Structure 1
Amino acid sequence: MYITRIISLFFIFAVFFGNGQVGINTKTPLATLDVQGNLGIRKKIYLGGSDGAQGILGQKGTVLVSQGQGLPPVWKMLRVPPFDPFLYFSFYNIGVKTQNGLAIGNATSGSNIYTENQSLTSFLGTVTASGGVINDLTQTVTINNPESILAFSFETIFMINSTAQYQGADIAIGIFVDDKLKGVRVYTLDSEVAGLVRDFYTFNLIAAAQNLSVGQHTVKVACTRRSNNNNFTGDIGIGKSVYTNLNDFMMQSSFMIESYEKPNPTNTTPVYIP
């Protein structure tokens, strides 16, 4: 019996020290420990240990996450809670800002009535100089469920370069998904007094889009100068300074997009993204 044990131990050490690999249920191990079969762990798992340190135990609620080829796994907390499939959850949000707004001359697109899903081209009108898209705010979002809702929040400064009393301009700012209008606000700004003052206004727009198809969608913010008041011909600024009482930093625009979705059982997106 003792001779058998000695021979068995000799065989194990020979395998271990001979090629540095041990196989269970395999004669050709491909890793330091290659288990061909089920693996049961009844107590603890330590990660990142060394000859002088035991390693790190995972905390309650953490899971083992691969960091990719050549990197060791790590303990990570799930970023999302359990989902109720009948409720909406905020899956992600995007926030962007820019000092590259629009400086628009005296061309106008007309005081039109806007409708949902109207095209971006018809919104801006035939006179292209009357407005445009704030390109730095354009974003691509992904919809995983057709019942999703996209919520938008846009803020900027509207400024007129006028020195005459009661002169001003009428504008419209819209949010578009795939070049279709989803939300719009109009505003008229006139100078209150004559002189060196250049009037400005903090403009806000909140809108939403729903019943979008599964896949990627492009979101844009666009502005058009609808009309001029009292023969006003000066420039207007949308998130862009047109006079020295404000600079581009003070005029900058910000745009938030939030996605609210009902959990989709066919969604294969990982719950944790490193």
Structure 2
Amino acid sequence: MKNIISTILLASGLMLSAQVGINTNSPKAQLDVNGDLNLRDRIAVFNDTDKSLSFGNNDQLLVSQGEGYAPIWKTLRIPEYEPNKFYLIFNNSFSDKVGVDLSYSEEPNMSTSKAATFTKGASFGSLTGFKKISGLSQKISVFSTESKAYFQFETVVQANFTANGSTDTSIDYACGIFVDDKLINLRQSNLKASSAQFPFLTHNQIGVIENLSKGDHTVSVGCSRLTSYGDAPNRRLAIGKNTNTNINSFIAQSSLKVEVYEVPQAFNTIIN
């Protein structure tokens, strides 16, 4: 009899009150439970559109959609990491069709040798004559103190040389990969005149840096025209863009691929 009376009183309370509190005199919702909640059966979500009940699937979680909207079932996918192993965490690629033009007047007057100037960690601002390829400046994120970042840069270098069989007409140039405006990789090359007009070459380089600090970093690519020989001072050098119509901007465009491998430091236990 006591159970029947208690049930009747509880039902009456639910009908008469907009908010019901269990173990609290100040409920903050229609049903406010201050304490442990033990459910012995299923939880269902009512779909107001088709008036159906959704019980979800095994290993799904209820996720709030905000005030005024019913929660929905979501599957939480957490990869299972093995300690002390590197995993690919970030992978992206970027392209640029604007490129840079480098004239003879922009060649740096280097007071020290190239070997002394082009050193790992040199700041972009200290390398006179370098221009950034704007579309390749991008942010990357690192989440672990143990990481390896790989950068693959590819572009086309072209000069508007006239047909000239003499190899004395040529231009030295260099391209560097920078992280937070610090040089991590540099490659120097030379474009020579030939018997064909408007020669071009494909430039490819790969840079690696380990254990970047956790957080956001900016990767960028910059190039410089170093030295001109023969008739080259009168000629234009372009990197990541075409100087003449024997190739187009699609062929000459630059690309940068970024991969960040990390040893994860936040582990989430997976219970099957």
Is the shorter-chain TM-score for this pair beyond 0.5, marking a shared fold? yes
Aligned length: 258
The TM-score, its normalising length taken from structure 1, stands at: 0.79
- What per-residue deviation string (whole Å, max 9, x for no partner) do you get for residues 102-130 of structure 1? 1211232368232211222333x2xx4xx
Structure 2 CA distance for partners of 1:243 and 1:80, relative to 1, 3 Å: farther
Q: Which moved more, 1:64-73 or 1:78-87?
A: 64-73
Give 5+ residue unaligned stretches, structure 2.
none
**Corresponding residue to 2:176 among 174, 177, 182:** 174
| Equivalent-residue separation in structure 2 for 1:43 and 1:153 (angstroms) | 55
| Equivalent-residue separation in structure 1 for 2:154 and 2:55 (angstroms) | 46
Residues 1:122 and 2:126 are matched in the alignment: yes
The TM-score, its normalising length taken from structure 2, stands at: 0.80
Structure 2 CA distance for partners of 1:189 and 1:66, relative to 1, 3 Å: farther
Residues 1:138 and 2:140 are matched in the alignment: no
Which SS does the other structure have where 2:16 is aligned?
helix
Task: Quote the sequence identity (%).
Answer: 35
| Equivalent-residue separation in structure 1 for 2:41 and 2:192 (angstroms) | 74
Structure 2 CA distance for partners of 1:65 and 1:263, relative to 1, 3 Å: farther
Query: Which residue pairs with 2:239 in the alignment?
Result: 238
| Equivalent-residue separation in structure 2 for 1:72 and 1:156 (angstroms) | 52
Q: CA deviation at 1:53?
A: 0.7
Structure 2 CA distance for partners of 1:46 and 1:9, relative to 1, 3 Å: closer
Query: Which residue pairs with 1:97 in the alignment?
Result: 95
Which SS does the other structure have where 1:249 is aligned?
helix
**Corresponding residue to 2:39 among 30, 41, 65:** 41
Give yes or no for contact 1:174–1:183 (8 Å, CA) kept in 2.
Answer: yes
Query: Which residue pairs with 2:219 in the alignment?
Result: 219
Structure 2 CA distance for partners of 1:77 and 1:170, relative to 1, 3 Å: farther
Give yes or no for contact 2:163–2:198 (8 Å, CA) kept in 1.
Answer: no
Q: Which moved more, 1:176-185 or 1:60-69?
A: 60-69
Give yes or no for contact 1:95–1:256 (8 Å, CA) kept in 2.
Answer: yes
| Equivalent-residue separation in structure 2 for 1:154 and 1:56 (angstroms) | 50
Matched residue type, 2:101: A
Give yes or no for contact 2:173–2:226 (8 Å, CA) kept in 1.
Answer: yes
Which SS does the other structure have where 1:57 is aligned?
coil
| Equivalent-residue separation in structure 2 for 1:175 and 1:68 (angstroms) | 44
Structure 2 CA distance for partners of 1:21 and 1:117, relative to 1, 3 Å: same
Give 5+ residue unaligned stretches, structure 1.
none
Residues 1:186 and 2:188 are matched in the alignment: yes
Which SS does the other structure have where 2:245 is aligned?
coil
Give yes or no for contact 1:44–1:57 (8 Å, CA) kept in 2.
Answer: no
Q: CA deviation at 1:134?
A: 1.5
Q: Mapping of 1:1-274 within 5 angstroms?
A: 1=1, 5=4, 7-47=5-45, 49-50=47-48, 52-55=51-54, 57-58=56-57, 60-67=58-65, 72-106=70-104, 107-109=106-108, 112-113=114-115, 114-123=118-127, 125=128, 128=129, 131-165=130-164, 166=167, 167-194=169-196, 197-232=197-232, 233-265=234-266
Q: CA deviation at 1:182?
A: 0.7
| Equivalent-residue separation in structure 1 for 2:226 and 2:67 (angstroms) | 56
Structure 2 CA distance for partners of 1:121 and 1:245, relative to 1, 3 Å: same
Which SS does the other structure have where 1:87 is aligned?
coil
